[in-house]
Each structure stands twice: as structure tokens, then as C-alpha cells.
């Protein structure tokens, strides 16, 4: 039996989604040279500004294209579901985002994305555009601290992109934008918990099995195995378990400031996210850590997966300014 | 077997959700007199302004409390899951929203809500606050056109509240705010389609049965029966079916303007909503109707129900101005 989706032909899902995105957000987005897999912000790139190009597979909406707009990313390259975009749309995005001050590539640390973005960077380098790359590696369940460079990028993407996008919008240099992006990534920590699987539009079969009373802690946003498969616990127990690990890794002194992201992986509704957020705030207060800003909603999903993730970014004054900087994106605004 | 939810005790779900909402949105919201079921906008009510009080059962997040903030609703009364708030929090909201120019009550047309809001209006009238009520009745699947007053209010709430909230924020009179609210409701039309059921936090059992290849057209946001139970169709077929009915009811001449809302009922992800939106726009273009603005996302949900709704509001110049008026709410912004 196929999973239930409101789609047409599964092979057309991404292109049809992009057409629907452009129909809704034509004030903000346009396809570069008619390429539906390379969307650029109408109000983003400008001379002298470092360009920010993000991207990755589809199925994580509003990541990545939802974060394209003035103050955040200049362009997003859009891959098939859970598959990296090929070099072509990445190059299109790069040219469209280029303001003569260099371009920053930012995306989650996945082998396919690294290969294609690197290939694009190499080819675009021949056109004289300087490209730097900052991978996001916020998923602390995906590798031990000593192997941070092996970790995957998940919902914490959002904080790292936001900080970098603000730096670019403030017309800082490529060196500065890269430094701020790396610092934001170093200080961003995420763990997710899945309660159910997701299914690709092409196959409409669940991409893994999960028992009716099970959850998986640390699962990746493409269904990569987590660190523990266990009976489903209460919201407070789940949050405590995640917060214990996040706080241990973050290792922030009392009086530190953070921002919080409680993110739905797809089908977990706001009611549950806010119940989680209640406990997140309690744990932060207990640890004498100040919460500067809280984001609750769907920021990085995994199709219709049930579950949620919690992200903390350990702010300093500079990162706080970057987070508070206004942005005006297709699917996200900060005033 | 219980449904999977990230909650603690099901009876505490609403209060714990509100605590989590206040933890995230304390810049915008505060509980009136410490009552967690009566949240008022910190930046909303002011002398001489008509107050706008909305509300209803929980489980529809971000409706209703997410739309509380300057430029939209001044306060929301929060009921238990799928249950009307009692008169007390409605009265608290009314007093907090009152700026001496009268207060407008707006909510979906459900018997329990009507009873409790009317009771609150009567009691508050004794305090000398003039209250007017405008019910939303946008769900065209819930009664025939001749019995519009019997129809339920669903996702189209959002457009009707938005128009009224703008009128209030522009300091129009109570008469004018009520007139604009009624006009917005008269010109707003919604149909939803459900692919799956939802489950209450207290019972954690599916609230209706649906076959693995079925959908229900016209289902209400509490699982009220729709107009047809059928095999699941393609996105384009579903949209065509809904748009045929919406366009017939709206009966707008060529050259008319509308705004569109493609709303997730809970677990249907953005990819599917945008695929629907693509077809919505094609149908509107074919009908020579101009789309002024498009909203895609979760605006009025039904816990974790799978499915989506489409809403059209037939704009005139006045309603267009109201829709474009800025607002700054807990979970929604218009610049």
C-alpha cells in the first residue's frame, strides 16, 4: 500500500513544488535564467556584497529556499528529494549572487552536496569569482565531539545561515562573513527525535520501520540511524534527554545567552513543539542560561516524518546581533 | 495502541502548551491577570481602538493565539482541545482588549463557542463595554449557500480576522469594523480534504477511521463528516474539485482579485501544499482572476490530521488594504 500524499506524478513533485513556490513568492524569488532549480532573491544580491548561496536536497522545506531573501541567503540550489543539486544550478546561483566581493557556499555536511558544491566552486573559480565554503555540522548525534567535521548538518542550519546572511547583508568582507559563519556553526548544537518514518514521492513507501510505541533519538533528517531506539517517552523525558546532551556539549558558563529552535520534522504539530519548548526553557533557567530568542515551528523537515529537534546556539554579542538583524525571506521574516 | 505524541499527561497538554507559548513569545503576549487561557497582545489594545477578541478550542494552532498582536487580534481566549473556552477567559480578554470604543468578538460558528461568547458578551455588557459578534462561516462544505449562517468557520478565519484586525488597528469605529468583518466573511470560501484522522491528547485514539487509500472531501477541522469519501486522487484532481466549488460559490467576474490560502491541517508538509498551490494559481489564471497575495503553510490545523484546505477571499479595494496592513503577531507577521 502506498503512503498518502497530495501529489501528482512523484517524479514531478520537486518541479511542481517549485512552480507553486514561485506562484506564491514571486515578489521575493525568481529562477535564474529560467532554471527552476536555482532561485535567487530579487532583493538580495547587490554590488560589493558577499553573496550567500545555500542549498541541498528537497523534502526539508522550508529549507532551503524558504530562507532566500534580503538579510539571509541570496540564492538556493534545489536538488531532487533528499539528493544534492548538481553543479549547474549551484553555478547559476553563484553567478546570480555574486556582487564582486566573493561568494559563500553554506550547506549541510553530506557527501553528495560536498562533491557537487566543490565541483561548482572549482568551475566558477575559473570565472574569477572567489568562493569559500562553510559546512554545517550541528547534529551532535551523528559523530563524537572529536569528529565534529564528520557530523551532519540538520535544523541548526537555520541559525548558521541566519548569522552568515546578516554578516553578508552588513556588507562585511568575505573573510569576516566566513569567520562569523564558522563561529556560528561551532556554537550550534542539535539533536532530533523521530516518532515515525517518511516516504519519498517516487516510491511512497516508508523509508524505515518503527514500532507503534517506539521513538529514535538522534535520527538524521533523511532517516539516518540515530543513537538509540527506545519506547516512546513523555515530552519532558525526551526534552531532558536531549537537553542533557546539548548542554554538556555546549558547555556554556552560567549567565551565557542562547537562542532556541524547536523544530518539527514534518508532522509533529505546534502543540507538541510548544510543550517541548516549555521544558527547554525550564532546563535553561535551571542552568542559569538566558534565552535571548526562541523559534518554534517547521524550519528543517524531513517530508512527513513525525518528530522534532531541539537546537541551541551559544550566542556572543556578535552572533546575537546577527540573529536579530532583519531579514525578509520567502518563508521567514525578522523585523 | 495509543497514537504517538510528544506530550506529558494528556490533561495538561493545553496548559503546558500555553506555558511554552509564553516562554517563546513573551515579547508579544501576556496572560491576563495570570490566566493562562486568556492571552492579550502587549502591543495591541490602546485607548480609542476597537478591541478584537478571538478564540476557540485548542488543537488548531497557530489558530487562535498565534494571530494575537498589533494589527490583528488583541486577545485570544483558549479552550481545551476542540472545546470552546468558558465565559471567564473570554471576559478577561474583553476587559484587556477594551479601549473604550467597543469590542468585536470573532470566532468560528460552533454551538459551544456561540453559547460561551454570548454569555460573556451579556455579562460584560453590564460593565458597560459594548460587544458585537461576527461569526466566521467560510466552510462551504458544511451547509448549502442558502444556509450560510449554519456553516462552520475553518481556515478562512484567518482572512476574516486579518481584515477586521486591520480595521481595528486603523482606529475605525465599531460599526465600521463590524461591517468590514462581515464583508470579509461573506466573501471568504474554504473547502478542506482530509487524508487521515487526528487524536486527542487525552484519549490518543484516532477520532475517525479512514481507509489506507481514502480521502474525505469537505471534512471539518474537528473531524466533522465531509461531503464525499472517495479513493485518494492526484493533487491536481483534488485541487480542481475544490476550486470548481470555490469558484462557483464565489461567482467573481473576470478581472476580480483574490487572496489565496493553502493551509495544512497538521501533518501535510509544505511540498504538498506548494504542489497544490501551483494548480490553484493555474485555475485562477484560467478564470481570469488575479491573485493579489498567497499564503501557504499551517494557519488552522486539526492536531496531527493529514490533509489541507484551500481558501479564497474575493477582494475589493478595501479588503485588499486590510489584508496588506502590517501586523506583528506571536506567530505571524505582515510587513
Q: What CATH number is attached to the domain comprising B304?
A: 3.30.1180.20
Which of A174, A107, A105, A177 minimizes the C-alpha distance to A138? A107
pLDDT band at A219 (very low <50, low <70, confident <90, very high): very high
Residue A11 DSSP label: G
- Mean pLDDT computed over A225-233: 95
Q: Are residues B42 and B125 in the same domain?
A: yes
Which residues of B are less than 8 Å from A333 in CB distance? 333, 335
What is d(CA A93, CA A95) in angstroms, rounded to the nearest whole number?
6
Contact call for residues B260 and B311 (beta carbons, < 8 A)? yes
- Of B125, B123, B155, B128, nearest to B139 by C-alpha is B155
Same structural domain for residues A43 and A14?
A: yes
What is the predicted pLDDT for the residue at A90?
A: 98
In terms of domains, do B180 and B195 share one?
Answer: no
Q: Does B199 touch chain A (CB under 8 A)?
A: no
Residue A325 annotated as catalytic: no
B112 falls in which pLDDT band (50, 70, 90)? very high
Which pLDDT does position B147 carry in this prediction?
96
- Residue B102 covered by a domain: yes
Instruction: State whether A15 and A85 are in the same domain.
Output: yes
pLDDT at B99: 98
In chain A, the number of structural domains is 2
- Shared-domain flag, residues B84 and B149: yes
> Is residue A42 included in any domain, yes or no?
yes
Query: Chain-wide mean pLDDT for chain A?
Result: 97
Whole-angstrom distance between the N-terminal and C-terminal Cα of chain A?
A: 46
Whether A5 is in a domain gets the answer no
Residues B152 and B192 in one domain: no
A81 to chain B: nearest residue by CA?
Answer: B271
Q: Give the pLDDT score at A244.
A: 98
In this prediction, the answer to ipTM > 0.95 reads yes
Place of cell 473604550: B100
B30 close to A (CB below 8 A): no
The pLDDT confidence band at residue A44, using thresholds 50, 70 and 90, is very high
pLDDT for position B91 = 98
DSSP-based three-state secondary structure for A71: coil
CA distance B328 to B58: 21
Chain B residues 223-242 with a CB less than 8 Å from chain A:
232, 234-236, 238
Question: How many Å apart are CA B68 and CA B327, to the nearest integer?
Answer: 9
Please choose, from the candidates B112, B104, B101, the residue with its C-alpha nearest in 3D space to the C-alpha of residue B160. B104
Does residue A330 lie in a domain region? Answer: no
If asked whether residues B163 and B19 sit together in one domain, one would say: yes
Residues A304/B91, Cβ–Cβ less than 8 Å: no
Tell me, yes or no, whether A217 and A290 share the same domain: yes
Indicate whether B15 and B81 sit together in one domain: yes
Please say which residue of A138, A154, A187 terminates a domain.
A187
Q: Contacts of residue B301 in chain A, CB cutoff 8 Å?
A: 269-270
Examine residue A151 and state whether it is found in any structural domain, yes or no: yes
Helix axis angle for B87-97 and B111-125, nearest 10°, is: 50
Q: What is the pLDDT of residue B1?
A: 78
On whether the CB atoms of residues B256 and B312 are closer than 8 A, the answer is no
Residue B193 and residue B148 in one domain: no
H helices of A251-295, in order, are: 270-286
Give the strand pairing for B51-58 and A290-297. Answer: unpaired
- Per the domain annotation, does A333 fall within a domain? no
pLDDT for A335 equals 80
Confidence of residue B319 (pLDDT cuts 50, 70, 90): very high
Q: Are residues B146 and B78 in the same domain?
A: yes
Whether the bond between A64 and the residue before it is cis, its omega within 30 degrees of 0, is yes
Q: What is the pLDDT averaged over residues A178-204?
A: 97
Contact A8 B193 (CB under 8 A): no
Contact assignment for A5 to B61 by CB distance below 8 Å:
no
Within 8 A of B307 by CB-CB distance, chain A residues are 6
The C-alpha torsion from A260 through A263 and A269 to A274, rounded to 10°, is -10
Average pLDDT over residues A258-285: 98
Q: Is residue B3 part of a domain?
A: no
The pLDDT tens digits for B299-312 are 999 999 999 999 99
Q: Count A/B contacts: CB-CB distance under 8 Å.
A: 196
**B45 to chain A, closest Cα gap in Å:** 21
Q: What is the CATH number of the domain that holds A44?
A: 3.40.50.10440
- Answer whether A235 sits within 8 Å of B8, measured CB to CB: yes
Establish whether the linkage from the previous residue to A267 is cis, with ω within 30° of 0.
Answer: no
Range of the domain at A71: 10-187
Whether B281 is catalytic is: no
Mean pLDDT (chain B, rounded): 97
How large is the average pLDDT for residues B179-199?
Answer: 97
- Residue closest to B112 by CA, chosen among B140, B135, B142, B138: B135
To test the contact with chain B by mutation, choose from A13, A275, A308, A311 the residue with the greatest count of B C-beta atoms within 10 A, namely: A275
Quote the CA–CA distance of A322 and A292 in Å, as a whole number: 12
The verdict on B117 and B202 lying in the same domain is no
pLDDT at A261 over 90: yes
The DSSP secondary structure of A105-165, one letter per residue, reads: EEEE--HHHHHHHHHHHHHHHTTT--EEEEEE--BTTSS-GGGGGGPPP-TTHHHHHHHHH
Which conformational region is residue A251 in: left (phi greater than 0), alpha (psi within -120 to 50 degrees), or beta?
left
Q: Does A310 map to a domain?
A: yes
Cβ atoms of A54 and A330 within 8 Å: the answer is: no
Report the residue of chain A nearest B281, measured CA to CA: A23
pLDDT tier, B27 (very low <50, low <70, confident <90, very high otherwise): very high
Give the model confidence (pLDDT) of B194-246 as tens digits.
999 999 999 999 999 899 999 999 999 999 999 999 999 999 999 999 999 99
Region A65-78 average pLDDT: 98
In this structure, how many other beta carbons lie within 10 angstroms of the beta carbon of residue A335?
Answer: 10
3-state secondary structure A193-252: EECCCCECCCCCCECCCCCCCEEEECCCCCCCCCCEEEECCCHHHHHHHHHHHHHHHHCC
Q: State the pLDDT at residue A1.
A: 78
pLDDT in tens, B47-103: 999 999 999 999 999 999 999 999 999 999 999 999 999 999 999 999 999 999 999
Amino acid at each position: 500500500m502506498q503512503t498518502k500524499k497530495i501529489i501528482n506524478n512523484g517524479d514531478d513533485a520537486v518541479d511542481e513544488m517549485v512552480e507553486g513556490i514561485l506562484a506564491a513568492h514571486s515578489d521575493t524569488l525568481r529562477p535564474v535564467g529560467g532554471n527552476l532549480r536555482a532561485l535567487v532573491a530579487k532583493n538580495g544580491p547587490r554590488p560589493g556584497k558577499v553573496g550567500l548561496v545555500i542549498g541541498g536536497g528537497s523534502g526539508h522545506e522550508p529549507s532551503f529556499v524558504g530562507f532566500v531573501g534580503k538579510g539571509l541567503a541570496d540564492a538556493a540550489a534545489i536538488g531532487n528529494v533528499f539528493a544534492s543539486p548538481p553543479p549547474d544550478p549551484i553555478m547559476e546561483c553563484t553567478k546570480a549572487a555574486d556582487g564582486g566581493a566573493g561568494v559563500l557556499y553554506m550547506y549541510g555536511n553530506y557527501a553528495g552536496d560536498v562533491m557537487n558544491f566543490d565541483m561548482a566552486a572549482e568551475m566558477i573559480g575559473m570565472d574569477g569569482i572567489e568562493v569559500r565554503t562553510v559546512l554545517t555540522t550541528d547534529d551532535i548525534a551523528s559523530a563524537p565531539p572529536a569528529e565534529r567535521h564528520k557530523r551532519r548538518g540538520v535544523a541548526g542550519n537555520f541559525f548558521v545561515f541566519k548569522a552568515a546572511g546578516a554578516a553578508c547583508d552588513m556588507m562585511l568582507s568575505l573573510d569576516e562573513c566566513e569567520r562569523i559563519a564558522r563561529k556560528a556553526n561551532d556554537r550550534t548544537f542539535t539533536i532530533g527525535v523521530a516518532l515515525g518514518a517518511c516516504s519519498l514521492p517516487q516510491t511512497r513507501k516508508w523509508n524505515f520501520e518503527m514500532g507503534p510505541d517506539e521513538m529514535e533519538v538522534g535520527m538524521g533528517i533523511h532517516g539516518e540511524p540515530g543513537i538509540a531506539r527506545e519506547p516512546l517517552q513523555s515530552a519532558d523525558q525526551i526534552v531532558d534527554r536531549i537537553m542533557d546532551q546539548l548542554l554538556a556539549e555546549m558547555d556554556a558558563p552560567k549567565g551565557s545567552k542562547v537562542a532556541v529552535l524547536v523544530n518539527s520534522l514534518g508532522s509533529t504539530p505546534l502543540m507538541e513543539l510548544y510543550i517541548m519548548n516549555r521544558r527547554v526553557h525550564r532546563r535553561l533557567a535551571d542552568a542559569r542560561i538566558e534565552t535571548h530568542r526562541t523559534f518554534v515551528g517547521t524550519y528543517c523537515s524531513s517530508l512527513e516524518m513525525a518528530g522534532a529537534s531541539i537546537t541551541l546556539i551559544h550566542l556572543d554579542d556578535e552572533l546575537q546581533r546577527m540573529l536579530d538583524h532583519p531579514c525578509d525571506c520567502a518563508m521567514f521574516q525578522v523585523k
